[in-house]
Amino acid sequence: MSSITRRRALGVAAGAAGAAAGLAAAGSATAAAPRATAAAAEPAPASFDEVYQGRRIKGGPSHGGDHHGGHHGGGYSVTIDGRELHVMRNADGTWISVINHYEPVATPRALARAAVRELQGAPLVPLTLA
């Protein structure tokens, strides 16, 4: 007999649902890709130099292609009281630092301010890798 069984009907339905989910995931991944490349093509944020909560914070294009100034920060550097804050730009255009690694912010100025608040008056010490 060629009648369909309940098991076969459920298998076909599960396969169709899986295929639909796969197509939806592929569509959203394709839609996210242009944003990631667009973030990399965005111009560097504006420079800043201000005193925030008693600390001098500065940010601007870095001069030189060393690891700290030009690699992760996309050619942008941030300092707190003259000491470099290691920054990194994410693919979505947000910024993180070694102090605020799990709290991305929209601009390097906001990143520097968040780091000052987190430091609570403590000095920024150099990042050393062992």
Quick one: pLDDT at residue 23?
Answer: 60
Quick one: pLDDT at residue 76?
Answer: 92
* pTM of the complete model: 0.62
Q: pLDDT tens digit string along 72-129?
A: 556 899 999 999 999 999 999 999 999 998 999 999 999 999 999 999 999 998 777 6
Q: pLDDT tens digit string along 5-44?
A: 777 766 766 666 666 666 666 555 544 444 444 455 667 7
What's the rounded Cα separation, in Å, for the pair 106 and 111? 8
Residue-wise burial string across 75-87, b where 16 or more C-beta atoms lie within 10 A, e elsewhere = ebbbbbeeebbbb
- Would you call 106 exposed, middle or buried from its count of C-beta atoms within 10 A (0-12, 13-18, 19+)? exposed
Tell me if 62 sits within 8 A of 70, measured CB to CB: yes
pLDDT at 69 over 50: no
pLDDT tier, 54 (very low <50, low <70, confident <90, very high otherwise)? very high
